[in-house]
């Protein structure tokens, strides 16, 4: 499975390329103001004159971190009127950005920039919020993985169908990167689909809906079956482990009764699956008098505070095997990037000290993921 955060960074990076000149012009103007205390004071005076109610301050971007680009562009838009006042009333500002001036090559932001940048800020805001959600440490993320991919796919497709030339050009690059990593859903880790089915709000029907929405009816049937039997196989493995532990505690005469009952139940289960064909109703018999019906109707709290871990904890007595399975599957992280590198668009940079390490020491650090 590919790291979700890394792929999002690559998608955003390709989008940034389309606005490289516009971003550079905004970045230069912001840096021009920030690099001098006198200019900063003058800018703040214009902010008071403009009666801006924003409590945000101008911020510079950090190379190789696209979230700082987003924050810089967002604050620059808030103070767009202040920058216009600065240009009107400050002759030095105008002269420095005229041809022949120290910033003449780059120039002031153009009219097109004032149209394109707000649209790109809207795009970046979506991916910024998504990345923060992926790195949440107080909740599980594996059950929402497919949700997030589907939302990104819908969003990019919607922008491509729009009339906005700027947005279409930018989105085309981002969609190409998205398809490179996420178009072939057959290569994804099946356990992520199992995680979706273990979410009582989604389950099997939602999984099939997403497959159809992203790739059509044929893929829905094919991937639906693959995911379905992946869950069945994993459940069987968990059932064996739990029952082995359970049998070890039973007297011999009770153990024989349970074995006979399981043989009868397994025969009935096979007959049902053959009779129903592709019409699947996963009825999981554990041989101790309980039925597990994955797709039964269950009343679910749809509020934003819903906790899937609390739900499975509450329903463990009813679904002990599925609860054990859910505990392990839902613990999977969907990102392997450290939180401090969540928004990085560059590769790892080795400093002089690490570059001088012996091969043996470098190998040890890599093995320790340091």
Tens of pLDDT, residues 261-304: 545 444 444 444 433 433 333 344 343 323 443 455 556 666 77
Question: What gap in Å lies between CA 316 and CA 340, rounded to an integer?
Answer: 36
User: Residue 285's pLDDT is what?
Assistant: 37
HSE of 6 in the Cβ direction (CA atoms, 13 Å)?
Answer: 12
Segments of the chain assigned E as strands? 283-285, 291-293
- Domain ranges in the chain are 4-139, 186-329
* Phi, psi of 357, rounded to the nearest 5 degrees: -70, 155
User: Residue 259's pLDDT is what?
Assistant: 52
Tens of pLDDT, residues 333-345: 777 655 555 555 5
Question: Which residues is 292 bridged to in the sheet?
Answer: 284
The answer, yes or no, to whether residue 245 has pLDDT greater than 50, is yes
Q: Are 324 and 193 in contact (CB under 8 A)?
A: no
* Mean pLDDT, rounded, for 325-354: 64
Query: If DSSP codes are grouped into helix, strand and coil, which group holds residue 62?
Result: strand
**Most confidently modeled range among 12-26, 216-230, 324-338, 356-370:** 216-230
The answer, yes or no, to whether residue 93 has pLDDT greater than 50, is yes
In the chain the first and final C-alpha atoms are separated, in Å, by 22
The answer, yes or no, to whether residue 55 has pLDDT greater than 60, is yes
Rounded to the nearest integer, the mean pLDDT of the chain is 76
Least confident of 27-36, 63-72, 255-264, 319-328: 255-264
Question: What gap in Å lies between CA 336 and CA 94, rounded to an integer?
Answer: 47
Q: Are 9 and 66 in contact (CB under 8 A)?
A: yes
* Mean pLDDT, rounded, for 75-94: 88
Tens of pLDDT, residues 136-184: 666 777 888 888 888 999 999 998 998 888 888 888 989 999 988 888 8
């Amino acid at each position: 499975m590919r790291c979700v955060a890394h792929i999002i960074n690559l998608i955003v990076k390709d989008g940034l390329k389309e606005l490289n000149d516009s971003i550079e012009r905004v970045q230069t103007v912001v840096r021009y103001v920030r690099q001098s205390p006198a200019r900063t004071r003058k800018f703040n005076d214009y902010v008071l004159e403009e009666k801006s109610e924003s409590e945000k301050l101008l911020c510079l971007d950090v190379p190789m971190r696209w979230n700082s680009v987003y924050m810089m562009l967002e604050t620059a838009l808030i103070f767009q009127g202040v920058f216009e006042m600065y240009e009107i009333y400050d002759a030095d500002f105008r002269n420095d950005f005229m041809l022949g001036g120290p910033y003449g090559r780059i120039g002031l932001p153009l009219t097109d920039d004032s149209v394109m940048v707000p649209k790109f800020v809207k795009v970046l805001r979506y991916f910024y919020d998504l990345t923060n959600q992926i790195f949440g440490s107080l909740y599980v993320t594996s059950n929402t993985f497919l949700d997030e991919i589907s939302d990104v796919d819908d969003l990019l497709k919607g922008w491509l169908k729009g009339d906005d030339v700027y947005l279409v050009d930018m989105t085309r690059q981002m969609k190409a990167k998205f398809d490179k990593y996420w178009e072939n859903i057959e290569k994804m880790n099946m356990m992520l689909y199992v995680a979706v089915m273990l979410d009582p709000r989604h389950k099997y029907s939602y999984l099939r809906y997403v497959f159809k929405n992203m790739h059509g009816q044929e893929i829905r049937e094919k991937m639906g079956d693959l995911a379905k039997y992946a869950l069945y196989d994993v459940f069987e493995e968990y059932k064996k482990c739990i029952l082995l532990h359970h049998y070890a505690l039973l007297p011999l005469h009770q153990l024989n009764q349970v074995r006979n009952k399981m043989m009868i139940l397994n025969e009935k289960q096979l007959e049902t699956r053959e009779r129903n064909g592709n019409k699947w109703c996963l009825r999981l018999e554990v041989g101790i008098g309980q039925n597990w019906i994955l797709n039964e109707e269950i009343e679910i709290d749809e509020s934003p505070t819903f906790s899937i871990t609390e739900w499975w904890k509450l329903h463990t007595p009813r679904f002990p095997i599925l609860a054990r399975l859910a505990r392990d599957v839902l613990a999977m992280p969907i990102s392997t990037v450290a939180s401090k590198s969540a928004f990085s668009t560059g590769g790892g940079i080795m400093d002089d000290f690490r570059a001088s390490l012996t091969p043996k020491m470098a190998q040890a650090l890599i093995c320790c993921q340091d």
